[in-house]
Amino acid sequence: MQEIYVRLLGEGTTVYRPVKAIENVDSTFTIVGEDDINCDDEEWEFRPGSRVIVKSVEIGGNMRLLASRLATKAP
C-alpha cells in the first residue's frame, strides 16, 4: 500500500487529499481509500476504485505522487 494524493474539487482553491493506493504492475495505481472519503464534505477528482496514472509534484514543500488522470488500459 502506498500514499498518493487526489485533488479535491469545489474547494475554491487547490486542495489535495492523501489517500491509500495499490501500485499495479504497469506503474498505475488503484485508489483504495474507501474508509478515507467523506462524501458529505469532499468531492474527490478520482473516486476509490479508480485506476490512475500519477505524476510527481511538489505539495507543501515535498515531492508527492498526484493522481493526474485515469488509466485507460487494463493492467
Judged against a pLDDT cut of 80, whether residue 28 lies above it is answered with yes
Residue 6 domain-assigned? Answer: yes
Total residue length of the chain: 75
Number of domains comprising the chain: 1
For residue range 39-62, what is the model confidence (pLDDT) as tens digits?
A: 668 889 999 999 999 999 999 999
Residue 15 domain-assigned? Answer: yes
- Report the mean per-residue pLDDT for the chain: 90
Residue 75 domain-assigned? Answer: no
pTM: 0.88
How confident is residue 33, by pLDDT bands cut at 50, 70 and 90?
low
**CB-based burial of residue 31 (10 Å sphere; 0-12 exposed, 13-18 middle, 19+ buried)?**
buried
Q: What percent of the chain has pLDDT over 90?
A: 69
